[in-house]
Amino acid sequence: MSYLSYCLISGVSLLKVVLIQGDIKKGEPDKNRGRFFELMEEAMKQNPQVLVLPELWNTSYADNPRLSADIQGEPTLSILCSFARKHNVNIVGGSTADVVEGKLYNRAHIISRQGELVGEYSKIHLFSLNEEQKHFSPGGQLGLFMLENIRCGIIICYDLRFPELTRALALEGAEIIFICAQWPRSRIHAWKALVSARAAENQIYVVAVNRAGTEGGNNFGGSMAAAPDGEIMAEAGKEETLLTLEFILDRIKEARKEIHYLRDRRPEIYKLC
């Protein structure tokens, strides 16, 4: 009997996810949508419940992202919703450059398998090193949503360096936090350490999808996921790839039976830090 069959028979809650690590063409949304939808079709051969896309997969960090950005999520959002309905799959839609009420956001959309928008999040921490704030406006709300009756959260790339954000999501009940990113391999040691730490310190799953390819002298790749004890479950290389993972949600409860970090906090002492 396969492990998947055992989990289904024994009533263990299992979630199958495919991380889509694709290359992105700077400022070419039509080409990017075409390529990513090819990869998404290929991913469906794995019979996943969730597909996850990387950061700014419609435009990358174009010189003037507003020129090639979506407007109120369109046309990308409608295409994602249609794909979700057709294939009966949830989509954590990475992030796209999206103009909303005149402001440009680095914005994520989450779509249910019924093709309905169930969550949105705009990147809170803009990356000053590449002057992201010159083009994008920061978000101001947590990215919380439900998928398959599981409380989830989402953050975008540079957000990973701020432990307060993932802790806030965990305190709101998130059991899985998705990260969509364009994280250079020159800083891959920090990427791997932080993904593992965010999972271990909150006793949750962290699912981190990076883009592939090369841009501006930077190489990318290294999509991965970490278990509630911080163990790296799987890790991609630098090429375009589909990384398939299965998450046992009961593993969170098991980790917290032994020691419960969130319960043992002393926020009255360090809440102003």
pLDDT tens digits, one per residue of 190-221:
999 999 999 999 999 999 999 999 998 899 99
Q: What is the pLDDT of residues 99-139, one digit of tens each?
A: 999 999 999 999 999 999 999 999 999 998 888 999 999 99
How far is 233 from 225, CA to CA, in rounded Å?
Answer: 6
- How many other CB atoms are there within 10 angstroms of residue 148's CB atom? 15
What percentage of residues in the chain have a pLDDT greater than 70? Answer: 95
218 strand-pairing partners: 215
Domains and CATH numbers, the chain: 11-260 (3.60.110.10)
List, in sequence order, every residue forming a beta bridge with 178; answer none if it has no partner.
154, 207
With contact defined as beta carbons under 8 Å apart, do 69 and 56 qualify?
no
Whether residue 246 contacts residue 57, with contact meaning beta carbons closer than 8 Å, is answered with no
Helix (H, G, I), strand (E, B), or coil: what is residue 201?
helix
pLDDT of residue 2: 38
Q: How many CB atoms neighbour CB 100 within 10 A?
A: 16
Buried b (16+ CB within 10 A) or exposed e, 150-183: bbbbbbbbbbbeeeebbbebbeeebbbbbbbbbb
Which H, E and C letters describe 93-158, residue by residue? CCCEEEEECCEEEEEEEEECCCCCEEEEEECCCCCHHHCHHHCCCCCCCCCEEEECCEEEEEEEHH
How far is the C-alpha of 102 from the C-alpha of 93, rounded, in Å?
22
The helix (run of H) or strand (run of E) holding residue 30 is helix 29-43
Q: Record the pTM.
A: 0.92
Cα torsion through 156, 159, 161, 166, rounded to 10 = -100
Helix (H) or strand (E) holding 150: strand 150-156
**pLDDT tens, position by position, 2-35:** 334 434 444 557 899 999 999 999 999 999 999 9
Can you tell me the mean pLDDT for 238-248? 96
Q: What residues are labeled active site?
A: 55, 123, 157
